[in-house]
């Protein structure tokens, strides 16, 4: 029932990103950064993520559920401020900063690597101001590295930057996590806080709508306890399954249906948002306390619906939108930001190189580097074999779990002569159900996922002499 094919496949460079370590800094080669269409520069500070990102794509022929976002303690909100985020641009002359954990913590929590650590950011712009509420959000965009650095509970004390959590995503990427690199930002849905944000330069740009999907949070009585999240989200609030009471999971797209009359919205700033909600919609990325929905605006934009006092007209407009919003349950298709048909890419890499790793042989241990998504080995005599049998190399993202009887392809991506090996073992008996053997760079092994409860065992084997790196790509093949 199992077939293994060992060979070489062409390296796919179109749309891919290669992270190259250069001291503390990174450079990005390839990808979609700089590609222009309709006046947009994809993968840039002002227009983050690829044209094909869900943030920059719009649905064709959406169909809607019936659930109405309920009222709660407060009126709905479109706002910058304490619970939103700033987006700060790093430049070549900015100095590095090391971010440490909060007092009495083990360090900065890195969900991707599943470790507490310090985080060395190669370029830290002046004037970083975290949001003032407890979440302390801030995103730093580094175009030189092609990375968005996203922080949770960031603050500065006596000149030292500290945070509770750090995650990163590619500036020219999807703007969402994938099963391998499952946490790519500080929001509960594992996305950067800059994703879907109404940005400063967009507020008064003269356009009738924002040209991307928006970021929205809901409160407990609207969010679903089961499932707690759906594609493209890869996570949700930790206690969502026991505290949510609604029907909309994180990661869901909500929109105003075509029949919604935008002309009933009397506030110009809200009407622009309503037009956006009819065309692109908003993704549910987080949970709030007591507000039916919040749409997030970049801090420092000056956006305010209640400048000079409570605006009853704007509040009524937000209520009208609340009553009109519906979850998208299916679509006929998608159009990306460059007006080209695009298919949602649910077939994403399943294999993470996160630890814990144990040295099985050799003298110089390799370690997981999140910015390379690889196990990295320093130069050493001979080879080193690192083994991860914890099962954490396959994170249990609900919509991407391996399926028994489904075909998969493993590909090794290695430098310096490193190799990759994947074994699948029956959890009860320990019997080996699949063994890729050692794969050199760009070699592949095709197989059918076995039945039963399976434990993945990943081996990373260094090259001899010089530095080397290794990671893997595990994708679903034919249906």
Q: What one-character-per-residue DSSP string does 84-144 give?
A: SB-EEE--TTPPPEEEEEPTTSSSEEETTTTEEE-EEES---TT----SSTT--EEEEETT
- Per residue in 231-279, pLDDT (tens digit) is 999 999 999 999 999 999 999 999 999 999 999 999 999 999 999 999 9
Cα distance between residue 387 and residue 169, in whole Å:
26
Per-residue confidence band for 346, with pLDDT thresholds at 50, 70 and 90: confident
Backbone phi and psi for residue 229, each to the nearest 5 degrees, phi listed first: -150, 160
44/236 Cα distance (integer angstroms): 27
Q: Report strand pairing: 214-218 vs 282-287.
A: parallel
Band (pLDDT 50/70/90 cuts) for residue 33 is very low
For range 285-293, the mean pLDDT: 98
| Omega cis (within 30) before 232 | yes
How far is the C-alpha of 16 from the C-alpha of 392, rounded, in Å?
25
Could you tell me which residues come within 8 angstroms of residue 265 by beta carbon, excluding any fewer than 6 positions away?
A: 271, 274, 317, 320, 321
Q: Encode burial over 315-325: b for 16+ CB neighbours within 10 A, e otherwise.
A: bbbbebbbebb
Whole-number pLDDT of residue 345: 77
In the structure, what pLDDT confidence band is assigned to residue 3 with cuts at 50, 70 and 90? Answer: very low
Lowest mean pLDDT among 28-42, 220-234, 459-473: 28-42
Residue ranges of the domains in the chain? 7-21+349-476, 55-342
pLDDT, tens digit, 9 for 90 and up, residues 62-71: 999 999 999 9
Q: Residue with structure tokens 């991407």?
A: 400
Sign of CA dihedral 67, 73, 79, 81: negative
**pLDDT for 134 beyond 90:** yes
User: DSSP 3-state assignment of 234?
Assistant: coil
Query: Given the structure tokens 């042989």, which residue do they identify?
Result: 361
Q: How does residue 211 score in pLDDT terms, banded at 50, 70 and 90?
A: very high
Least confident of 223-232, 276-285, 340-349, 405-414: 340-349
Tell me what pLDDT residue 20 has: 28
Over residues 312-335, the mean pLDDT reads 98
Q: Specify the higher pLDDT residue, 286 or 16.
A: 286
End-to-end CA distance of the chain: 16
Average pLDDT over residues 340-356: 92
Give the Cα separation of 355 and 386 in Å (integer): 10
pLDDT of residue 34: 55
Coil, strand or helix: which one is 319? helix
CATH code for the structural domain at 7-21+349-476: 2.60.120
Indicate if the pLDDT at residue 22 is higher than 60: no
Cα separation of 262 and 274, whole Å? 6
- What is the rounded CA–CA span in Å between residue 278 and residue 259? 9
pLDDT level of residue 36 (50, 70, 90 thresholds): low
Chain segment 223-243, per-residue pLDDT in tens: 999 999 999 999 999 999 999
pLDDT at residue 159 above 90? yes
């Amino acid at each position: 029932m199992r077939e293994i094919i060992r060979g070489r496949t062409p390296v796919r460079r179109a749309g891919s990103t290669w992270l190259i370590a250069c001291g503390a800094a990174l450079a990005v080669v390839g990808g979609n950064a700089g590609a222009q269409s309709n006046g947009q520069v994809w993968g840039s500070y002002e227009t983050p993520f690829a044209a094909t990102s869900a943030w920059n794509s719009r649905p064709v022929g959406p169909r809607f559920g019936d659930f109405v976002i309920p009222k709660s303690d407060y009126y709905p909100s479109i706002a910058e401020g304490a619970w939103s985020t700033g987006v700060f641009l790093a430049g070549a002359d900015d100095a590095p900063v090391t971010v440490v954990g909060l007092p009495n913590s083990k360090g900065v929590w890195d969900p991707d690597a599943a470790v507490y650590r310090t985080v060395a950011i190669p370029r830290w712009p002046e004037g970083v101001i975290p949001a003032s509420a407890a979440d302390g959000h801030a995103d730093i965009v580094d175009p030189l590295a092609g990375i968005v650095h996203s922080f949770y509970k960031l603050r500065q004390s006596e000149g030292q930057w500290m945070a509770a959590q750090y995650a990163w995503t590619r500036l020219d990427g999807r703007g969402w996590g994938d099963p391998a690199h499952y946490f790519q930002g500080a929001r509960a849905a594992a996305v950067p806080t800059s994703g879907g944000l109404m940005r400063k330069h967009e507020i008064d740009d003269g356009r009738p709508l924002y040209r991307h999907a928006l970021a929205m949070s809901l409160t407990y009585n609207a969010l679903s306890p089961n499932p707690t999240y759906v594609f493209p989200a890869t996570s949700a609030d930790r206690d969502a399954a026991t505290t949510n009471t609604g029907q909309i999971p994180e990661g869901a797209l909500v929109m105003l249906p075509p029949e919604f009359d935008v002309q009933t919205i009397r506030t110009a700033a809200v009407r622009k948002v309503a037009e956006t909600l009819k065309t692109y919609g908003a993704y549910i990325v987080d949970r709030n306390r007591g507000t039916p929905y919040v749409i997030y605006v970049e801090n420092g934009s000056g956006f305010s619906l209640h400048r000079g006092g409570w605006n009853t007209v704007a509040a009524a407009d937000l209520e009208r939108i609340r009553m009109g919003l519906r979850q998208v349950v299916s679509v006929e298709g998608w159009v990306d930001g460059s007006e080209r048909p695009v298919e949602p890419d649910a077939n994403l890499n399943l294999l993470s190189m996160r630890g814990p790793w144990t040295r099985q042989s050799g003298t110089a241990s390799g370690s997981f580097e999140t910015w390379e998504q690889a196990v990295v080995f320093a130069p050493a005599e001979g080879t080193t074999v690192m083994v991860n049998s914890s099962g954490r190399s396959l994170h249990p993202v609900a919509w991407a779990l391996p399926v028994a009887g489904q075909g998969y392809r493993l590909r090794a991506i290695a430098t310096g002569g490193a190799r990759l090996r994947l074994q699948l073992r029956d959890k009860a008996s320990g019997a080996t159900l699949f063994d890729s053997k050692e794969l050199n760079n760009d070699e592949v092994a095709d197989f059918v996922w076995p039945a039963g409860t399976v434990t993945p065992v990943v081996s990373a084997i260094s090259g001899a002499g010089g530095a080397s790196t290794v990671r893997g790509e595990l994708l679903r093949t034919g249906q």
